[in-house]
A and B are shown apart, each in its own frame.
Chain A
Amino acid sequence: MAPLLELKDVSARYGQVSALHGVSLTVEDGEIVALLGANGAGKTTTLRAVSGTVRRSGDVVFGGKRLGRAGPEQTARAGIAHVPEGRGIFAELTVWDNLRMGAYMRRERPDFAMVLEYFPWLAARRNQQAGTLSGGEQQMLALARAFLQRPRLLMLDEPSLGLAPLVTREVFRVVGDLNRKEGLAVLVVEQNAAIALSAAGRAYVLETGNVAISGTSDELKADDAVRSAYLGY
């Protein structure tokens, strides 16, 4: 079975500075994969390279098809939902308008009922300005919006950023639900290695633009190097 997403030797740069030097990784249908690493390792850049937010070289194959020079609009239409660093919600618009934007590309009427199953509290906040939601609520809103895109792959950039541990666990619980019940594959970038490894089945560790270590979550949790550098014990 071909993987859902495959990166073959992908490189990317910001101006003169090279951020990724030949990253290769895969995500299978229906699995959760974590992308770990320290600050500046290139985790966010990897997601941006996939979604086309930053120019890349190398191959990105999604659902068997090469994503050529596609920009963000095309990768979104191909079925990849990228929730960027900082959530990317439209702060000045209402919660409802944010959700409507999630369904922008879809021809059929958006299935708000299904969204509310996973995010019931949204119904009460429909008309609230999205920028006034708490960090955790904004993250949930971004997830709900991404879900409305009916993607095959969800890419999350540091969902735990700025959130309290309890809230982070809630976020990952919802991500897990979406993965199990909807079969949504997830590629999650995280600095919080512990929670990422408990949610994901496999993980890659990036260091200065390369894949340094890869394996199943159990393997990585047992690995001494990973434990001391990223898990803190």
Chain B
Amino acid sequence: MRLRWGYLGFALLVVAVIVAPLVSTNYRTFQLAFVGIYLIALLGLNILTGFTGQISLGHGAFMGIGAYATTILVVDHGWNDLLTLPVAGIVAGLAGLAFGLPATRFAGPYLALATFAIPLSFIGVLKRFPHFTGGTLGKQLPSLHSQFGIDANPSVWIYWVSWIVALAMFLLAYALVRGRFGRALRSVRDSEIAATASGVSTSGIKCAAFGISAFFCGVAGGLFAIAVTYVNPDTFPIDLSILLLVGIVLGGAGSLSGMIFGALFVEFIRITWGPALLDLFSQVHHINTRAPGSSLVVYGVVLLLVLYAAPAGAAGLVRRLVTGRAAVAAWAKQDRTPADEQA
């Protein structure tokens, strides 16, 4: 039954993806391309956070690694931009593993705080080796254009590229979280002690989840670079990592399809909904709501509201509508019972 809803949902998604550019302006199509890009990143981060229960504040940096990998290969070594995507993913994935190997020995909240250091460190490293990375000035990529003899508007081109990759990555994520590996992930999320007792190597799983999620973010980062045609150390600040996390919670951590909502949120809150909400607010209160930082306040408040009212995110709400059952926020399940509090 659930599987049938899943197939139906996926089919609807594919239809929506095909129809959207036909009914949208080029600008809107360009934005929707980014929805696809963020979807890839969110799918990856969800594998780590929603399925394995580890919070990461650093995945924007893995997008950055992928973006820089793509940029360097295209600009300095003349690669075809699309061919760099797997490499971008692998490089980012290896970085994720390198971080994960020692770091996954920490328990949950400590690991999260360690991940906070990743984007900050990444920016430092980028500036330290300007010969390689272009330093603070960054690097410029060739302008976006369609390839393989297809003559299309660049926005439409990148839309299709992003979404084909996104749908493929969606299927990949789906395959990963089904079956034994997915069960192992969820066992680590739900009870590390029980998982260890069942023979699951919790640090091994967490490490793998780190690597895989970094891989996804790397691919997304590569696409991002191709779309934006410019990277510099400020392209992937800590704000982005946090926004991704908000997107996960909003979409519904632990739900792959929920990530569509998350991706829509991440893209449109920045440019469209956030400022619109703030404009509404400013009509009542006459404050300058275009000021920097106002959008961050919006994300934070939204995140808090979701945590209080709908911790299972949009996916949880949809599930409640469709099946009538309230969804428990699977990723945040561990409850404290009276027995836990004895000395």
- Residues of A that sit less than 8 Å from B by CB: 14-15, 48, 53-54, 84-89, 91
Contact = CB atoms under 8 A, between A and B. Distances in A.
Interface stretch (B54-62, B182-190, B195-203, B335-343): B335-343
Interface residues of B, number: 4
Contacts of B337: 14-15
A91 B342 CA distance: 12
B196 to A, nearest CB: 25
Contact of B342 (A14, A15, A85): A85
A87 B343 contact: yes
B275 to A, nearest CB: 45
A85 B337 CA distance: 15
A14 B338 CA distance: 9
10 contacts: A15-B337, A48-B338, A53-B338, A54-B338, A84-B342, A86-B342, A86-B343, A87-B343, A88-B342, A89-B343
Contacts of B338: 14, 48, 53-54
Contacts, number: 15
Contacts of B342: 84-86, 88
A185 B342 CA distance: 25
A141 to B, nearest CB: 12
Contacts of A89: 343
A166 B338 CA distance: 31
| A contacts with B: majority SS | loop
Nearest to A131: B343
Q: Which 6 A-B pairs have the closest CB atoms?
A: A86-B342, A86-B343, A91-B343, A88-B343, A54-B338, A53-B338
A108 B304 CA distance: 45
B343 to A, nearest CB: 5
Nearest to A48: B338
A140 to B, nearest CB: 16
A97 to B, nearest CB: 15
A86 B337 CA distance: 16
Interface in B292-343: 337-338, 342-343
B335 to A, nearest CB: 9
Nearest to A87: B343
Given A53-B338, A86-B343, 7 more contacts: A14-B338, A54-B338, A85-B342, A86-B342, A87-B343, A88-B342, A89-B343
A54 B341 CA distance: 13
